[in-house]
Amino acid sequence: MAETAFLRSLASDRRCAIEVGVFEGATSAVLAEAMPPEGTLYLVDPYDLGVRLEGLLGFSFTWFVAQRSVRPWRQRVHFVRTTSFEAALSHPLDRPADLIFVDADHSYEAVRQDFLAWAPKLVTDGVMAFHDSRCCPARPDLNPSTGPVRLMSEIRLGLFGSWEVTAEADSLTAVAPFNGRRPGENRG
């Protein structure tokens, strides 16, 4: 699959990566396996106990599955069980991130908030990648009003400062700061 190969290539030389929106950890395993042995992967997901049985038991089955998915790399994988926004504000990283993959709430407001909250944690030559952020034959359900697609359109227009698209594969888009500027900075 093109997206899996794309994510593997993005993670191959990263020492600090963050995945926002983990679910059962399939992508987490791809990222962890591709990263160098000294790399650290932060997995951000609150794992809400929304299902009635999970709430009664006080246990998230998807979190359990995600832990099993990354078991071979558990020494360098850190689960951050809180919302994306809370984690971006308060969770300390070992070093600034050189890869941030966003695949959480796909509403426009949420993905925009994820971008604005996490982008300051990125090193100048780092990359942010977004799932379901581009219309493509593999994902005919996506359209210009889909949250991540809309955000990518706005990033391309320069509405969040100077960012450039560095690569794309199916519904994935990778962007990087242009000339080291951060979101919201004047384009000068």
For the chain, which domains are there? 2-177 (3.40.50.150)
**Cβ atoms of residues 128 and 158 within 8 Å:** no
State which amino acid sits at residue 101: F
Spatial distance between the Cα atoms of 26 and 28, rounded to a whole number of angstroms? 5
Alpha helices in 58-107 (DSSP H): 61-69, 84-90
The β-bridge relationship of strands 97-102 and 77-80 is unpaired
pLDDT tens figures, 5-38:
999 999 999 999 999 999 999 999 999 999 999 9
> Mind listing the pLDDT tens digit for each residue in 145-179?
999 999 999 999 999 999 999 999 999 999 999 86
Q: Report the SS3 class of residue 36.
A: coil
CA 49 to chain centre: 22
Q: Please give the model's pTM, rounded to 2 decimal places.
A: 0.92
Output the six-digit token pair for 132: 């379901």
In angstroms, rounded to a whole number, what is the distance separating the alpha carbons of residues 18 and 137? 28
For the stretch 77-102, pLDDT in tens is 999 999 999 999 999 888 999 999 99
What φ, ψ does residue 53 adopt, rounded to 5°? -60, -40
**Are 104 and 151 spatial neighbours (Cβ–Cβ below 8 Å)?**
no
32: left (phi over 0), alpha (psi -120 to 50) or beta: alpha
Residue 94: its pLDDT value, please?
A: 85
What's the rounded Cα separation, in Å, for the pair 48 and 68?
18
Residue listed under structure tokens 């020494």: 75
Q: Which two tokens stand for residue 65?
A: 């599955």
